[in-house]
Structure 1
Amino acid sequence: MKRVLSAVLAAATIISTSSVAFAEDNVSKSVYGGPRCDKGVKLGNKHCVPFDVPDNSPVSSSIVHLVQAGLMVGYEDGSFRPDNPLNMAEAATVLLRLLGMPPKEDTADWAAAAIADAAKLGLVPVDTQADAPLTRLKVAIVLAKALKLKPSTDALPFTDLSGLSDEEKGLLAALVKAGIFSADAGKEFGPDTTITRGEMASIIERVLAKYK
C-alpha cells in the first residue's frame, strides 16, 4: 500500500506543480488559465486544454488535471473526446501510469502489453480481452485491486447489485467507503454501464484527492 500511496502522491505533486506553471503562463482564462488547443496540436502540453471539453462540463477540471499530470492523454488533433468509451487496455494503461509503472506504449501491440503488465500485478485476469468495454463494475474491481483495498462489509444501497458476487460487493463497498464512488439510497449503480473517458478522469481524480 505504501508503494501505491507514494505513486499517487507523486502524481498529485505533478498535478499541483503543473497547475502553478499553468497559472504563471498568464495566457488566458479558460480552464485553469490555458487557451484552447488548436486543432492539429497534440493534446498534452500544459499551455492548452482540450477544445472539445466545455468550461462548464462537470468533468472539465478532472480532464485538465489528468492530462497535465500525464495520467490520461488526448488525441493528435487537440481533442480529448470525453464521451468516448474506454476499453480494458486503455483503462489498464491509465492505472499503470497512476501506479508509477507505465507500460510500453511505443510497441505495435501496446494494448496487449498493457493487459500483460496489469495481469502481472493481479489487476486483471491474464485472459482479459484488450478491446473489451470497461464497465462501472470492472473499473471498480480493477481500481480496488490497484489500491489494495480489502472488501468491506458495509451495506450498499444500490438497487441493481443482485447479480454481483459477495467479493464484488465487498470491493465496491470499500470504494464507496473511501469516497471513490458515491452511494445514494435507492439509486442504481449501473454495473454494466460503459465508462467514458470523461468519467474515468473524474474517478481517477477522486483517487488522487483521497490519497493526497
Structure 2
Amino acid sequence: MRKQIISSVTALALFVGGFGSFAGMGGTITVEAAQAASSFKDVPASHWASSAIHSAVEKGYFKGYADGTFKPGSPVTKAEMASILARLNDQPELPTAEPNHFTDVPEWAKNGVATAIAKGFIHPSSYKDKLDAQAALERGEMAEWLTQGLSVVDSDYGQALSDVTNTVIPAKEYFTGKLADSQKNAVAVALGTGLMSVANDKTFGVNRTTTRAEVAVLLSRYASVAKTKPADLQGLNELRQVGLTGTNLSVIAPRYQKTSKNKFLDSYDYSKVTTDFSQVRNKDLVTITNYADVKLRNWIIVNPYTTESKRSIFYPVFVDEKDSLLRGSYYSFAEVDLNIKDSMTQLQAGSLLQSPSINPLKSPNSNSFLEYSVPHINDFLSNKGVFKVKNPTYWSTGLLHFDKSLTTQVKVIAKDGTDFNMTAN
C-alpha cells in the first residue's frame, strides 16, 4: 500500500472514531499520525493486534477516539467497513460496476459504499436494495467481501471461489452441517488463503461480529494475499483439488503416480486405470464382501513429517500434535458412505475394501477430530458394535505407505469398471 498523508483539513473533518471521508490523501504519513498510532491507552505493545492497529492508523484506515483510546473490541458496521475498503488504493476497480440501489446507506458512507462496489468487494445483486448498513458486519459476510475483492485483483481467485464448491472445509460448522451453502465458498477461500481462521472452539463463526482490531489484522493479511498468486498457497490448492476431484493427494503426496501398465495382466483393460479420483468419487465401488454398498465422498492425505501448513490445511482437523507415525507413512482419511444391506458389525465394515489407506473399520480418535465434531463411526454403532442405521456416513482412518516393503498401492474400482490405481514412486 502506498503510504498516505492526512491533511490538517481532512484530519479535522474525520469522525471521532474514524470512519468519515478521507479526501486529500497521498504521500507519506505525518509524524502526528504516527505518534497517535503508538499511544492508544487501550492498545499496549502486548496487544495481539498492536502492530496491525498501528499500521492501519498510520495508513489512514482508522482514527482513534478523543479520549486517547482505539476501542479495539468495538464492532465495525457494514457502512464503516465499506468505507475502509474504499480506501485501499492498490485495489483495482471493475471495468463496469454493478448498479447501486441501496436505500439505507447514511450520507457520510455513500461514497465509500459506491467505491467498495466499484472495487468489487460488495455485490449489490446479492442484496435486496438494502445493505443493512448500520448493522455490525459478521464474519461470514466479511469473508464474502474480501474474497470477492481478491477475485478482482486476480481472476484465478475468482476461479478458486468456484473450484471449492464441493470441498471439505476445515471448520466445525461444515462438519455439523451448520454452514450455509451461500457462504461455504467464501469461507473456504478465506481459510485457504489464510485471510481468516477458526477460533479456539474450531468454529469459523460466520455470525460473529467483526471488531476494529480484527479488521486491522484483516487489512494487513489482505494486502499480503493480494500480492500472492493463488497457485502459491498450498492450503487453497488443497481446498480446490478436494472440491474438483475429492482428494488433496496430488498436492500432499505427488510421489503417488499411476500404477504402471506392467503391474497388470496383459488381458486387463488398462484404459480403465485412472489417477483422477473424481472418476470414482461418489460412485458405487466394487467390494470384497457384500455387507454394504460403498461410496467415497472425499479422501484427505496429511503429511506429518513437515511443519506447519505444509503438513496440510486439514492437519488440525484430524491429527493431534503429539501423534506420530512409523516408517514414513502419511495419514489417510476417507469419508465413506455406506448402504448396509441387512445388518453389519464394525469388524465387517473393515472387510469391505481391505485397503490400508481406505478402510471403513474405524475413525480417528484424536482430540482434534472430536473437537471439530467430525462424524465418527462410533456415532452409528450400538454397544455391541453393530450399526444402528442403514446409511451411515463417517470419516475413516488409514495409512498411505511409502515404504516399498509395505503395500503402497491404492486401488479403488467403481462398479462401472473405472480403476483408480496409484502407487508410490
TM-score (structure 1 length as normaliser):
0.68
CA displacement 1:137-160 (0-9 Å, x = unmatched): 011101111111321424212122
Tell which has more relative contact order, 1 or 2 (C-alpha 8 A, sep 6+): 1
1:79 partnered with 2:69: yes
The answer for unaligned runs of 5 or more in structure 1 is: 1-10, 16-43, 102-107
- Contact 2:86-2:119 within 8 A present in 1 as well: no
Distance 1:127 1:173, change over 3 A: same
- SS of the residue 2:148 aligns to: helix
The answer for unaligned runs of 5 or more in structure 2 is: 5-31, 92-105, 152-156, 228-425
Shift, 1:69, TM fit:
1.3
Letter matched to residue 144 of structure 2: I
Shift, 1:75, TM fit:
2.5
- Contact 2:146-2:222 within 8 A present in 1 as well: no
CA displacement 1:42-75 (0-9 Å, x = unmatched): xx70123222211111011110011111122222
CA displacement 1:3-52 (0-9 Å, x = unmatched): xxxxxxxx1x539xxxxxxxxxxxxxxxxxxxxxxxxxxxx701232222
CA displacement 1:65-107 (0-9 Å, x = unmatched): 1111112222233321101100001111111112458xxxxxx
> Paired residue for 1:145, among 148, 156, 173?
148
- SS of the residue 2:130 aligns to: coil
TM alignment of 1:1-212, pairs within 5 A: 11=1, 13-14=2-3, 45-48=33-36, 49=38, 50-99=40-89, 109-124=107-122, 125=124, 126-148=129-151, 149-150=157-158, 151=161, 152-153=163-164, 154-161=167-174, 162-183=177-198, 187-212=202-227
Letter matched to residue 216 of structure 2: A
Find the aligned partners of 1:82 and 1:51 in 2 and give their Cα distance.
11
Letter matched to residue 208 of structure 2: T
Letter matched to residue 82 of structure 2: A
Structure whose residues are more often helix by fraction: 1
- SS of the residue 2:216 aligns to: helix
TM-score (structure 2 length as normaliser):
0.36
Structure whose residues are more often strand by fraction: 2
Of structures 1 and 2, the larger Rg is shown by 2
State the percentage of identical aligned residues.
Answer: 31
Distance 1:80 1:163, change over 3 A: same
Distance 1:87 1:145, change over 3 A: same
| Greater than 6 Å deviation, 4+ residue runs | none
